[in-house]
Amino acid sequence: MSQPIGPNAGPQRIVCLTEETTEWLYLLGEEQRIVGISGYTVRPRRAREEKPRVSAFLDGKIDKIVALEPDLVIGFSDMQAALADKLIRAGLNVFITNQRSVAEILGTMRLVAGLVGAHAKAEAWIADWQQRTDALAAVAQGWPRRPRVYFEEWDEPKISAIQWVSELIGLAGGDDVFPELAQQRMGRDRVVADALEPARRAPDVIVGSWCGKKFRPEHVAAREGWRDVPAVRDSRLHEIKSCDILQPGPAALTDGLQQLHRLFADWAAHARLPAIHPTNA
């Protein structure tokens, strides 16, 4: 067991069952507390070299996790409830977060920072993020109009953007074409039942992030009834990798947001807008 980092300094040996907590602790300079990570972790890259991988997303190596003698295990969402139950029954302290909005992501980041005594560093990071986000909004105000955006989280069935992604679309300068579905916290409640409904909503930009497999824009463009969708007509179908936008933590707020903004800025620079004809005097 490692020696305490300082008086009342919080958990010393943390297992992170999802990537966003690992990335956040590294950003805070508290990576020495991490003793185990998810096998899906790619951010930061060095975490995979420095920390043992002890879990997938839905399950983990219980014996290996217990052997690490963690004083806290941190996971995410109801989807890890069964894994959390096993770890609790093994006698471990387990903390499960369930953030679904940008505000909840920031709140969770503050909470984790508080656990490790890094409140000041967290507030500095968040203030810098807010400043950069405000700068993106100022740029978008100069566009002729905001692009209409369809974000597809899965293809069969079609699942539209979760709340934080929908909000990031707005922060990046676009408008989600399914804002009503974004408010639903569960993926099954964000299924687009009518295959033609995304086409009817005429998105200018389509962004795919099919968690677990590569986005195939050519398959989307070939869907029956989608040929005249502005995004298809203008070849505005793009992928953002799930590790950059579907992790409810720093990656989505930074890389995910920046990638969305770049796509929308490029659209705004080349958008086909209706011609404005002067009226006769």
pLDDT digits (tens, 9 = 90+) for 170-186: 999 999 999 999 999 88
Whether 199 maps to a domain, the answer reads yes
Whether 158 maps to a domain, the answer reads yes
- CATH number of the domain encompassing residue 87: 3.40.50.1980
Is residue 44 reached through a cis peptide bond, with omega within 30 degrees of 0 on the bond before it?
yes
pLDDT digits (tens, 9 = 90+) for 246-261: 999 999 999 999 999 9
Q: With a cut of 50, say whether residue 111 has pLDDT above it.
A: yes
One-letter amino acid at 45 equals R
Instruction: Kindly state whether residues 152 and 212 are assigned to the same domain.
Output: yes
Instruction: Kindly state whether residues 248 and 192 are assigned to the same domain.
Output: yes
Residue 106 CB neighbour total at 10 angstroms? 17
Closest CA to 208 of 171, 232, 181, 242: 242
Query: What pLDDT band is residue 276 in, cutting at 50, 70 and 90?
Result: very low
Report the pLDDT averaged over residues 8-18: 91
Query: What pLDDT band is residue 211 in, cutting at 50, 70 and 90?
Result: confident
Whether 82 maps to a domain, the answer reads yes
pLDDT score for 281 = 38
Instruction: Kindly state whether residues 77 and 180 are assigned to the same domain.
Output: no
Instruction: Kindly state whether residues 88 and 151 are assigned to the same domain.
Output: no
State the residue range of the domain holding 51.
14-98
Instruction: Kindly state whether residues 239 and 158 are assigned to the same domain.
Output: yes
Report the pLDDT averaged over residues 34-62: 95
Rounded Cα distance between 4 and 18, Å, is 24
Instruction: Kindly state whether residues 257 and 173 are assigned to the same domain.
Output: yes
**Angle 37-41-44 (CA atoms, 0-180°, nearest 5)?**
100
Q: With a cut of 50, say whether residue 194 has pLDDT above it.
A: yes
Rounded Cα distance between 132 and 188, Å, is 33
Whether 239 maps to a domain, the answer reads yes
Rounded Cα distance between 197 and 216, Å, is 19
Report the pLDDT averaged over residues 69-91: 97
Share of the chain above pLDDT 70, in %: 94
**Quick check: pTM over 0.85?**
yes
